Amino acid sequence: STDGGRNLSLDSIPMGLPMSDPSAWATAMNNLGMAPMGMTGQPLLPDFDPALGMMTGIPPINPMMPGLGIVPPPIPPDMPAVKEIIHCKSCTLFPPNPHLPPPATRERPPGCKTVFVGGLPENGTEQIIMEVFEQCGEVIAIRKSKKNFCHIRFAEEFMVDKALYLSGYRIRLGSSTDKKDTGRLHVDFAQARDDLYEWECKQRMLAREERHRRRLAEERFRPPSPPPVVHYSDHECSVVAEKLKDDTKFLEAIQTLLTWIERGEVNRRTANNFYSMIQSANSHIRRLVNEKAAHEKEMEEAKEKFKLALSGILVQFEQIVAVYHSASKQKAWDHFTKAQRKNISVWCKQAEEIRNIHNDELMGIRREEEMEMSDEEIEDPSEMKETEESALVSQVEALKEENDSLRWQLDAYRNEVELLKQEQGKASKDEDTTKEQQMKLLQQALQGMQKHLLKVQEEYKKREAELEKVKEDKLKIETLLENLKEQESSMSRVCACSQEKECPVEKTLSNSPVKSEREVLLVGIISTFLHVHPFGASIEYICSYLQRLDSKICTAEVEVLMTRLQNTFRQELSGVGASLEKRWKFCGFDGLKMT
């Protein structure tokens, strides 16, 4: 605050003495070297000398003393200001009249470190200004004008509050009384661009620190991101396939499978793996359906428990209402006071309202069950009339129960014997309703068994049809096997005859350069290959073609075979120098003429 740095308040003096003892108050202020002042601003000791105190050697306390380093706290507006004379080397500062209002100041600019000082003596120099204001703190710069004012920039903001403390003081240079050597100081906030720039830089730094702190807090409370999905490989595929079979890891595995399919990992090579994983995922449908059925069963059991509990609560409500009705009869009603009768009537109304609400809720549950049963029985047209009749019966029962409740309310003002008869009739009706419920449950069970039997019969018929198809397929396969056996026997006879005819041929082949049927096949394939290549081909090129057909063929075997058949294959040299190459050509047509 602006006023906080100007005056030293009495509240800043730590003391625990009561104000009712003026002598103790004066002693405490005398020990601190201050003039004893009361709450009204009047001196408690008029002849007090501030240079003398009970603690000798301690000068009077002054907030502007060098080395004290305190900022005077703000004073209440009703407290008088206590300012002291300040002695410097080349000047003296006299405090203003304490009864005058404090000097006015402008609004403090943000980050203000510069003050305006007006009312300086005409003969005042920068050294005198430095001597006066360096007690407030470190002075960075002084800009003095010729018109008896200056601007002083301090190192810190709190030093400005100390400098404002001197506003209103009268300054005298030395002991001179000349007008040029005296003046009245006016200290106020000054707006400087350097102060504003430093303040903005500091605010930006604080904002950066706050953003960094907020970001750290957000990162600390942010939930961890899910782990990245691994890339597809045969190993990862086997791992995911195993996880798909495990119920506890199924969710994680199915997410990985979905990501792989969306990434486009399915191709011809991996299609079988993905199909097996999709098949294992499909096998979980039955498990999920079973879990859903188990939960539905639990829900039905919970509904039954709720219904039983609600019926028990209704019975207790009926008993409570019966107690209220019996208490409201004249035999017992006359013995209660007026307040007690009022409370009993109010309680009776509340209990009847709650009982009716619970009764409506129970009836709604029963209607829902009957509606569900009627929806299930709509499929059978023969039982439509029965469902309508059951719905009418349920409505009649609902009307009966409402009529009974009204009758109970009217009969509550009769005698106790009638009330007991009504309770007995209600108990018998409850037994009838329980029997009807048991019959309905048995009917539902029979209907379910009939539906199950129909399903089993349909499955049995399907299986019989499948068996007939399998038998027909088996007969067809047996006929095909018999035909194949007959064809094999006929082929074996033909082969035997051909072998007998080819025996002399083989004898003639034994003398030829071709020694086996495999070599004959090789000669035919090589001849066909070289016929397609009229300019010839190297032995490596020929062997590379043959090795596609049979990887066991070697180059040496092919070359030996071709050298033996000189009338069929011919080797020629093509190229010059380093590009010289041996090429084999097919010359079977020319060799046929020569032989």
Distance between CA atoms of residues 30 and 45, nearest Å? 10
Contact 586, 531 (CB under 8 A): yes
517-592 has CATH 1.10.10.10 classification: yes
Can you give the residue ranges of every domain in the chain?
86-201, 234-293, 307-369, 517-592
Residues with Cβ within 8 Å of residue 331, at least 6 apart in sequence: none
In sequence order, what DSSP letters do the residues of 101-152 get, joined into one string?
PPPP-PPPPTT--EEEEE---TT--HHHHHHHHTTTS-EEEEEE-SSSEEEE
Distance between CA atoms of residues 381 and 387, nearest Å? 10
Question: Which pLDDT tens digit goes with each residue over 156-180?
Answer: 999 999 999 999 999 998 887 788 8
Distance between CA atoms of residues 287 and 539, nearest Å? 66
List the beta bridge partners of residue 268: none
Q: Say how many C-beta atoms besides its own lie within 10 A of residue 523's C-beta.
A: 19
- The dihedral region occupied by 57, where left means phi > 0, alpha psi between -120 and 50, and beta the remainder, is left
Contact 82, 10 (CB under 8 A): yes
Tokens read off for 470: 């399998």
Report the residue count for the chain.
Answer: 595
Q: Say how many C-beta atoms besides its own lie within 10 A of residue 341's C-beta.
A: 15
Distance between CA atoms of residues 524 and 522, nearest Å? 5
pLDDT attached to residue 388: 56
User: Which amino acid is present at 215?
Assistant: R
CB burial string 380-418: b at 16+ within 10 A, e below: eeeeeeebeebeeebeebeeebeeeeeebeeebeeeeee
Positions of the chain with pLDDT under 50: 1-36, 38-42, 44-72, 77-78, 381, 503, 505-509
3-state class of 273 per DSSP? helix
pLDDT attached to residue 246: 87
User: What pTM was estimated for this model as a whole?
Assistant: 0.31
CB burial string 290-314: b at 16+ within 10 A, e below: eeeeeeeeeeeeeeeeebeeebeeb
3-state class of 585 per DSSP? strand
3-state class of 94 per DSSP? strand
Closest to 199 (Cα-Cα) out of 72, 106, 104, 114: 114
Q: Say how many C-beta atoms besides its own lie within 10 A of residue 555's C-beta.
A: 14
Distance of CA 182 to the CA centre of its chain: 74
Closest to 185 (Cα-Cα) out of 99, 113, 89, 86: 86
CATH of domain 86-201: 3.30.70.330
pLDDT attached to residue 295: 92
Distance between CA atoms of residues 579 and 572, nearest Å? 14
Contact 25, 17 (CB under 8 A): yes
pLDDT attached to residue 185: 92
